[in-house]
Amino acid sequence: MQKDVLIVGGGISGITVGNELAQSGISTLLIERESALGGLAASFCCKASESCNQCFACVVDKRVSEIRSGSSFSVLTGTELTGLTGEPGAYTVSLKKGTERMDLKISAIVIAAGVDPFDASRKAEYGYGRFKNVITARDLDEMLRLRGKLFRPSDGKLPGTVAFFQCVGSRDESIGNLYCSQVCCAYALRLIKAIRYQYPEIKAAFLYMDIQPAGASFGQFLNSCRQDNGIRLIRSLPSKVYHSPLSDSLKVRLTDPVKGGVVEELFDLIVLSVGMVLRKESNSLARLFGLNFNEEGFFAPPPAQTGIFVAGACSGPKDIDRSIIHSKSIACAVRQYLKGRS
């Protein structure tokens, strides 16, 4: 098989690069290790309340269904990379799909291998994995998408009070991730809006350090959260969570942002706003392609003359919108590279 470009990863970033290159008539193969395209964002629920809250999840769904109904570039799902030989401009990659193996000659490679949510059990003081009613924002998203309703994992009942803890796995010296994950403030606030719309009786608390803006209309969206008397925005991050067996509720210890001093409050459900980390299997890609890491632990851009490019969230935390913008700029760089060689 011969193609101009190989894209590794079929999330929104890989799909965007594929679409852009196909529009320029560049022959491209995208491989995805999973059986379906869409990456992490394909599992997000719609977070609309009275109106659309701009979470971008449906953009990913739309791009994936466009490919299903006929794509202008080649796609192989359930496929992995097993080897790389050759030199810049003339690489041969070995691929494996089930028991089938194939070699592909290509001029350039785009790595769009994406991210994983932070493993919340590493913040032991919050009790994820120990207390049933401590879940992550991603668990909540899946609950709403797959089950269509909100409930407490311990008893299946609707919680009366929900606390969202921000910056779980980001901006945290104790676990070695100092960067801001960019998406989790907006992600959590959209989830709160969607929940409050469906269940106006629920009271939500958003516990944060700073609020990271996301997109042009975010200011307006944040104001609507501030004006909602069922949502409290509390500038304080909790230090510890305890389980209270009698009431099956969770006791949260935090510093009172107004009066100072430690206070404790009870909640029925706690949602941890986990940030993003480079996908753990990406180390094998780094070894295969000789990629370096930046200070934050994501892929650093390789020198352009190698013909190897890095696109989307695996190059640093990005929301869907910014992953699309970044991937379009990488497609442009690939075009320039191929032009320079012809």
**What is the residue type of 255?**
T
Phi, psi torsion values for 166, nearest 5 degrees: -90, 170
Instruction: Figure out which of the listed residues 184, 231, 269, 338 binds ligand SF4, where binding follows CB under 6 A.
Output: 184
Closest to 159 in 3D by CA, of 199, 218, 128? 199
178 in contact with ligand SF4 (CB under 6 A)? no
The reply on whether position 63 binds ligand SF4 by CB under 6 A is: no
Among 36, 58, 262, 266, binds ligand SF4 (CB under 6 A): 58
140 binds ligand SF4 (CB under 6 A): no
CA dist., res. 145 & res. 83, Å (int): 37
How many residues in the chain? 342
User: Least separation, in Å, of the C-beta of 54 and ligand FAD?
Assistant: 9
| Cα 21 → chain centroid | 24
Among 66, 210, 256, 264, binds ligand SF4 (CB under 6 A): 210
Least distance to ligand SF4, CB of residue 66, Å: 15
* 195 lies in the binding site for ligand SF4 (CB under 6 A): no
Q: Could you tell me the smallest distance in angstroms from the CB atom of residue 20 to ligand FAD? A: 14
Helices (H), 275-317: 282-289
Sequence-distant (6+) residues with CB within 8 A of 295 are none
CA distance 64 to 13: 12
Residues near ligand FAD (CB under 6 A): 8-14, 31-34, 39-41, 44, 55-56, 80-81, 112-115, 117, 137-138, 183, 187, 274, 276, 279, 281, 285, 312-314, 318-321, 323
Instruction: Tell me the three state secondary structure of residue 225.
Output: helix
Contact positions toward ligand SF4, by CB under 6 A?
A: 46-48, 52-58, 166-167, 170-171, 180-185, 210, 212, 273, 275
